[in-house]
């Protein structure tokens, strides 16, 4: 029995020595490996698509490992960078056609890979209903984001509300650093005109979102 215990102790000591000498990848190495795995999962895709697997400087800050919180300096940097991306429709009209916005919020077209190819579409959809409840008659909506039923009825459609709504959709990080909401305008997924249409859908009194 003593001989077995001795062998067990020697084996444990050897294992501890091996683990102690083992080197683990750094946070940056782990991140790069993850990005490469995602890129390799879609061979033959256009650069515009595979580039989306590579995190930009601000996303890297938001992807801190170990649950670290943002510092005030980091948060300020992200907000400033997000505000610098803002672009507005020609003419400055931030609320467009709510009926066009109604189509956009349920349209999932854009950069979908089907049978090894990127689906060809004229314009991307916003697919807001994946994360938000909008039209109260629509039961097939997600709940990752807050419900937006009655958005305009509750907030109104003043210039300040319209501008905030537009900028939040264009780049949510201008208000909430590292928000889970996609940076739809900043990454060129939606055009400024499309975003203005979605804004109209949210704030227009006649929109289904705001009907009682």
How confident is the model over 134-155, as pLDDT tens digits?
999 998 899 999 999 999 999 9
Burial label for 104, CB within 10 Å (0-12, 13-18, 19+), is buried
Is the pTM higher than 0.75? The answer reads yes
| Residues facing 118 on adjacent strands | 113
Distant-in-sequence, close-in-space partners of 35: CB < 8 Å, separation ≥ 6: 53, 54, 55
For helices 192-203 and 98-105, what crossing angle results, to 10°?
100
Pick the CATH number of 75-210 from 3.40.630.30, 1.10.760.10, 3.30.360.10, 3.30.1490.20: 1.10.760.10
**Regions of the chain short of the pLDDT cut 70:** 1-23, 65-66
With tokens 């800050």, the residue in question is 61
- Tell me what pLDDT residue 125 has: 96
């Amino acid at each position: 029995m003593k001989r077995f215990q001795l062998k067990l102790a020697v084996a444990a000591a050897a294992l501890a020595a091996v683990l102690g000498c083992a080197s683990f990848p750094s946070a940056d190495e782990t991140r790069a490996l993850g990005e490469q795995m995602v890129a390799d999962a879609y061979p033959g895709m256009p650069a515009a698509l595979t580039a989306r697997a590579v995190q930009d400087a601000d996303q890297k800050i938001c992807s801190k490992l170990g649950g670290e919180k943002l510092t005030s300096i980091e948060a300020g940097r992200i907000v400033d960078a997000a505000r610098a991306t803002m672009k507005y429709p020609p003419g400055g009209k931030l609320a467009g056609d709510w009926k066009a916005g109604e189509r956009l919020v349920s349209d999932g077209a854009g950069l979908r890979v089907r049978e090894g190819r990127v689906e060809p579409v004229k314009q991307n959809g916003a697919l807001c209903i994946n994360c938000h409840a909008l039209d109260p008659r629509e039961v097939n909506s997600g709940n990752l984001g807050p419900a937006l039923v009655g958005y305009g009825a509750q907030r109104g459609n003043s210039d300040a509300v319209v501008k905030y709504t537009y900028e939040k959709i264009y780049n949510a990080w201008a208000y909430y650093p590292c928000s889970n909401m996609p940076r739809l305008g900043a990454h060129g997924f939606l055009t400024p005109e499309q975003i203005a249409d979605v804004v109209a859908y949210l704030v227009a009194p006649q929109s289904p979102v705001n009907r009682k």
